[in-house]
Structure 1
Amino acid sequence: MTGKVALVTGAGRGLGLAYAIALARAGADVVVNDLDEELAQSAAKAVSEAAGPAAGGRAVAQAAAVGGSEAADLLVERAVSEFGRLDILVTNAGILRDRVLWKMSDDDFDDVISTHLRGTFTCARAAARRMREQGEGGRLVLVGSPAGQRGNFGQTNYAAAKAGIAAMARTWSMELAKADITVNAVVPVAATAMTETIPAFAPYVEALRQGTPLPDALRKGEGFGTAEDCAALVAFLASDAARGVTGQCIGIGGDKLSLWSHPQEVNTAYADGGWRPETIAAAWRHSLAGATQTVGIPAPQPVEA
């Protein structure tokens, strides 16, 4: 990716930092964004050091609270002013405000939607405008979640935002195809501060922090690994090797790489002249009930020592 310029939002730590390092190691110059100025500066230094002089990738920090158009424009302008162009956008910025439905406040909902969903929209729009002006194509890598594919208890706001991001990836892949801009959503599963809030994963995240490697059954069976495990997918999607890959939701975690299906009909029934409540009830029992879908992120099974 020598000569390419990337912008990674929410790159102060965790997955975002791993993405930025992977892009810099591949030769890209990177704008490292985080809400916290000190964290952004520290992360940019870490990215430059991790890439090393051989890769050639440079990194600069730009603090901003992702969500509104002003922040999105600022980030794109920083990439252009610092490095002259923008070729790759990774929309990783996000927050959690977990509550069950009846306890979730308006602010809990709005804050998460603003950062994840609106922030993805505004940053992608600003990046797409710049990439189209350059006329040389580009890469939008949006960050989704299994919660957006399957739902997750206590995460109305987060699951809704991530489901919307998957839908935007599919939509934008069509709208930006003529400009040679690919758009994909990655669905990472990794030991991070966010997954530590999920009780089933918390012990493994803590064990990893203490230096205990994740067991093979978890890395393969659950597809759960480190942030660094997920970074390879972002680097691939940002590269020329992925030029023909667009409109996809691709999962990665631990030793597992997966392709998520688009939502589709799994069973159908027909009634001449249309449906009535009682005929729907009968059809449901006889034709559709056997194909109902599961919900939620499957919890990891206990791993024997």
Structure 2
Amino acid sequence: MNELQTAFDCDAPVALVTGSGAPRVGRAIALELARHGCRIALHAHTSVDEANAVATSMTDRYGTESIVTQGALDCDQTPERLVAETRDAFGRLDILVNSAAIWTPTPIQRVTPDELRDYFQINTIATFLCARAAANVMADQKRGGSIVNLGDWATVRPYLDHAAYFPSKGAVDVLTRSLAVEFAQRNPTIRVNCIKPGPVLLDGEASDERRRKLCASTLSGQIGTAEHIAHAVRLLCENSFINGVCLPVDGGRSIFAPDGLQVGENTG
């Protein structure tokens, strides 16, 4: 058995990954977990065709059982339904990864109350509701389960034009710790952790100068990949003694700032 199978005492643990239809971090996480023997519930809102294609690809490459769940996370009923569909399809839920998020650069003078509410609804409230629904299933499982939220390294050093986005992601850190405490009272083998990605998934149209600056902004001297984040998620799922942790996976970006450099890059 591999580490994931051992962690959940199951030959094929079940993982639900929100925001995993489009070619972003969530998809890389789903593929990483599938490659290590998990059955996968992909989630998409508008990228349903892409999610179906990924499901087919996972079956062809890894023999993975998978389903595609669909729904808008700004609807309060969606998280409960996604978890129910996953449990009904596979009979269990071992891993939830809250990867879905929204962001759009907006100068603070143009941020509306509705936009601010949208950020919190999808990035924060939906994360809470998905986690709570998953914990309701995990509480009855001998090995509980692992919930991994995706935050953002730059909540500690926010950059311009994201004043609506960063508060919603900063709340994920506190939410992670709070849920770890809450869910452990129901089943001490339920764990809640958070990954805080650094600069990954650089826009393909980015200039060479921008790439150079981003590489120079990390201690590792490189831009990260979605696979770096996926590997870290798997680590948190495998290790049963890590709980309530918010882990930067950012090449040292959060502790390092070259003189005169102010550059940010979205991660999801």
TM-score by length of 2: 0.81
In the other structure, the counterpart of 1:159 is 166
2:125 to 115, 118, 130: 118
Q: How does 1:1-305 map to 2 (within 5 A)?
A: 1=4, 2-12=11-21, 13-36=23-46, 37-50=48-61, 52-53=62-63, 57-178=64-185, 179=187, 180-192=189-201, 196=203, 202-203=206-207, 220-221=219-220, 224-239=223-238, 242-253=239-250, 256=251, 298-299=262-263
> How many Å apart are 1:228 and its aligned residue?
1.3
In structure 2, distance between residues paired with 1:67 and 1:93: 11
Conservation of the 8 A alpha-carbon contact between 1:67 and 1:120:
no
> How many Å apart are 1:236 and its aligned residue?
1.0
Conservation of the 8 A alpha-carbon contact between 1:100 and 1:154:
yes
Conservation of the 8 A alpha-carbon contact between 2:199 and 2:214:
no
Kindly indicate whether structure 1 or structure 2 has the higher relative contact order, using CA contacts under 8 Å at least 6 residues apart. Answer: 2
Q: What SS does structure 1 have at the residue aligned with 2:164? A: helix
User: What runs of 5+ residues in structure 2 fail to find an aligned partner?
Assistant: 5-10, 256-260
In structure 2, distance between residues paired with 1:181 and 1:66: 23
> How many Å apart are 1:189 and its aligned residue?
2.1
Conservation of the 8 A alpha-carbon contact between 1:90 and 1:140:
yes
> How many Å apart are 1:298 and its aligned residue?
4.7
Q: Percent identity?
A: 27
Conservation of the 8 A alpha-carbon contact between 1:190 and 1:230:
no
Q: Which has the larger radius of gyration?
A: 1
Q: 1:40 is matched by which residue type in structure 2?
A: A
Q: 1:162 is matched by which residue type in structure 2?
A: K
TM-score by length of 1: 0.72
1:84-121, CA deviations, whole angstroms, 9 ceiling, x for partnerless residues? 11010000001113212211122322222211111101
> How many Å apart are 1:45 and its aligned residue?
2.3
In structure 1, distance between residues paired with 2:81 and 2:209: 34
Q: What SS does structure 1 have at the residue aligned with 2:160? A: coil
Q: 2:68 is matched by which residue type in structure 1?
A: A
Q: What SS does structure 1 have at the residue aligned with 2:128? A: helix
> How many Å apart are 1:215 and its aligned residue?
9.4
Q: What SS does structure 1 have at the residue aligned with 2:41? A: strand
Conservation of the 8 A alpha-carbon contact between 2:20 and 2:43:
yes
In structure 1, distance between residues paired with 2:30 and 2:213: 23
1:129-176, CA deviations, whole angstroms, 9 ceiling, x for partnerless residues? 111133431101000002323222111221011110000111111112
Paired positions, count: 246
1:155–1:59 CA distance, 2 compared to 1 (3 A)? same
Please say which of residues 123-132 and 57-66 is displaced more in the overlay. Answer: 57-66
In structure 2, distance between residues paired with 1:83 and 1:214: 45
In structure 1, distance between residues paired with 2:214 and 2:173: 30
Task: Give the aligned CA root-mean-square deviation in angstroms.
Answer: 3.0
Moved over 4 A (4+): 204-207, 213-220, 257-260
Q: What SS does structure 2 have at the residue aligned with 1:61? A: strand
1:150–1:232 CA distance, 2 compared to 1 (3 A)? same
> How many Å apart are 1:63 and its aligned residue?
1.3
In structure 1, distance between residues paired with 2:124 and 2:215: 34
In structure 2, distance between residues paired with 1:104 and 1:247: 32
Conservation of the 8 A alpha-carbon contact between 1:190 and 1:227:
no
In the other structure, the counterpart of 1:281 is none
1:21-64, CA deviations, whole angstroms, 9 ceiling, x for partnerless residues? 011111111100011221221232233344x23xxx32211111
1:29–1:83 CA distance, 2 compared to 1 (3 A)? same
